[in-house]
Amino acid sequence: MIDVHTHVVPEHFPGYIGRGTDVPWPSAVPAHACHRHVMVSGKVYRTVSHQCWSCSVRLADMDERGVERQVLSPMPELLAPWLDAADGRLLCRHLNDTIAAMVAGAPERFTGLGAVPLQDVSVAIEELDRLLHRTRLAGVELPSHVNGIALGDMHLRPFFEAAAEWGAAIFVHPLRPCGMERLVGPPALEQVLAFPGEIGLAGASLLTSGRLAELPALRVALSHGGGSLAMLLPRLRQGHACLPPVRDALPGDPLVDARRLWIDDLVYDAPTLRHLVAVFGADRVLAGSDYPFAIMDTDPAASIDAAAFDAPTRAALRSGNARRWLGEETR
CA distance 220 to 203: 9
For residue 172, list its beta bridge partners.
Answer: 142, 222
* Distance in angstroms (rounded) separating the CA atoms of residues 125 and 139: 12
Q: What is the pLDDT of residue 8?
A: 98
**Domains of the chain (ranges plus CATH)?**
2-325 (3.20.20.140)
Say what the pLDDT of residue 251 is: 81
Pairing of strands 219-222, 262-264: parallel
Q: What percent of the chain has pLDDT over 70?
A: 99
Q: What is the pLDDT of residues 155-176, one digit of tens each?
A: 999 999 999 999 999 999 999 9
Mean pLDDT score of the chain, rounded to an integer?
Answer: 96
Closest CA to 211 of 266, 180, 181, 254: 254
d(CA 54, CA 34): 10
Over residues 118-137, mean pLDDT: 97
Contact predicate 246/292, CB 8 Å = no
User: What pLDDT does 331 receive?
Assistant: 44
Within 13 Å, how many C-alpha atoms sit on residue 210's CB side?
9
> Over the stretch 255-290, which tens digit does the pLDDT of each residue have?
999 999 999 999 999 999 999 999 999 999 999 999
